[in-house]
Structure 1
């Protein structure tokens, strides 16, 4: 049985971490997530990826502690390496990725969310944080690096060394959460997130441009300014050569709504 459910409709791929009660991940779940990311990447009909957790209690509680306790050091090293590769693959995919935080998002669960481009939480649905220090380890699936890039080095060190978890409102103030949706049910919350995601799909939004904006930022943050500007120019040249750019410029001049086709 797959531990990550995959569905695609209306330009949006929905990836659901599904291992109740906490949707904690194992190597098997990470392999399923890796496969789902690749499926969404290669699906020409998909322009946006949404990742969420099954149920209304947990987005993801991170790695299964029992698995880590019982595994030998070599397995644990390669487990972390593959998890890092999986989340890097998500970042490298030139399609917008939204994390729908439907419940508690802690430890490795937050690390998955940090690899997404936008994080939308359900109001009062759970806690968020990186408490790995209480286990005598550090956030080992990109948390030390991605958190620092979001909130700055000093604040990231404080949050990880204190190991506290906090509500989504605090996460919003810190910049970990982009938006908080109030919804009476999990289903209505998820429908709102997917509706938001569809706002970035064809034919109303230039999905090619959205994906290249993501790539410019994700890669540009990791290199010097001159290299980042060079990447920006190359991506812009690619977009200028597209049918969508010609359509967007023509629609502006003709005072009409553009119809983008992703080409």
Structure 2
């Protein structure tokens, strides 16, 4: 169901569960094992999450399995989905999702748990269609979508269940980069590789500052920022950053 590869400071998780990367409880059990391994790897700074299936990033829950399950079984699967998304969003690693196929329901919730979303301009659908099944998102889709695009866009997407394309996703800020289909996969890998060369402690501190600070008053946010930056002044990476600037060379962060 998954392929994992490590290239220097970059970890790559490839979803590979035909036909649509639809998930069930076994999917999340395997996913959790990979995420735990990544979290314990001190070398990895950035993780790229992508799909091996051309038409899909992830279609969310397997509807046939969901329909057959008991309420208790579905609650267990939703709990695991939430646990997985929380592990990604709370990790010290920077997670980058590359969307190059249909990204629907729990698939979009998974992408929204990532820190950065890259997309190709290939024709595919992005959305949270749960309302069309008489349900609503339950794996963090609503709050994370609000964080990504704002309340107005998020509300309309969720209450209508209507999908958007990648160009619209880029326009409203759901996708941070939009690449041409022909070169998108290569460009996404280049982006993630370059990001992984950055200072891990600083990037982790930035991620934590945004996670804890957004929604606070400006004064509390400023206080948090000051506290976080103070933890970085005496690090190897900060010293290397200054030294490399003075010497006019590329920094080699720890």
TM-score tier, shorter chain, comes to: over 0.9
State how 1:165-244 maps to structure 2 within 5 Å.
Answer: 165-184=163-182, 189-202=184-197, 205-221=198-214, 223-244=216-237
Aligned position for 2:147: 149
- Secondary structure at the residue paired with 1:200? helix
SS at match of 1:66: helix
CA distance in 2, matches of 1:67, 1:226: 48
Does structure 1 residue 43 correspond to structure 2 residue 38? no
Cα pair 1:20 1:54 within 8 Å, conserved: no
Whether 1:124 aligns to 2:122 is yes
Structure 2 stretches of 5 or more lacking a match? none
Q: 1:196 to 1:247 in 2, by over 3 A?
A: same
Please give the per-residue CA displacement for 1:105-132, whole angstroms capped at 9, x wherever unaligned. Answer: 0111000000111111121141101111
* Poorly superposed stretches of 4+, deviation over 6 Å: none
Gaps of 5+ in 1: none
Q: Structure 2 CA distance, aligned partners of 1:200 and 1:153?
A: 29
Q: How far apart, in 2, do the equivalents of 1:4 and 1:235 lie?
A: 35
Pick from 59, 62, 72: which aligns with 1:61?
59
TM-score by length of 2: 0.93
1:112-164 per-position Cα deviation (integer Å, ceiling 9, x unaligned) = 00011111112114110111100000011111111122222233221111111
TM-score with structure 1 length normalisation?
A: 0.90
Report which stretch shifted further, 130-139 or 155-164: 155-164
Tell me the SS of whatever aligns to 2:195.
coil
Q: What is the root-mean-square deviation in Å for CA atoms of aligned residues? A: 1.7
- SS for the counterpart of 2:205 is helix
User: How much has 1:223 moved relative to structure 2?
Assistant: 4.6
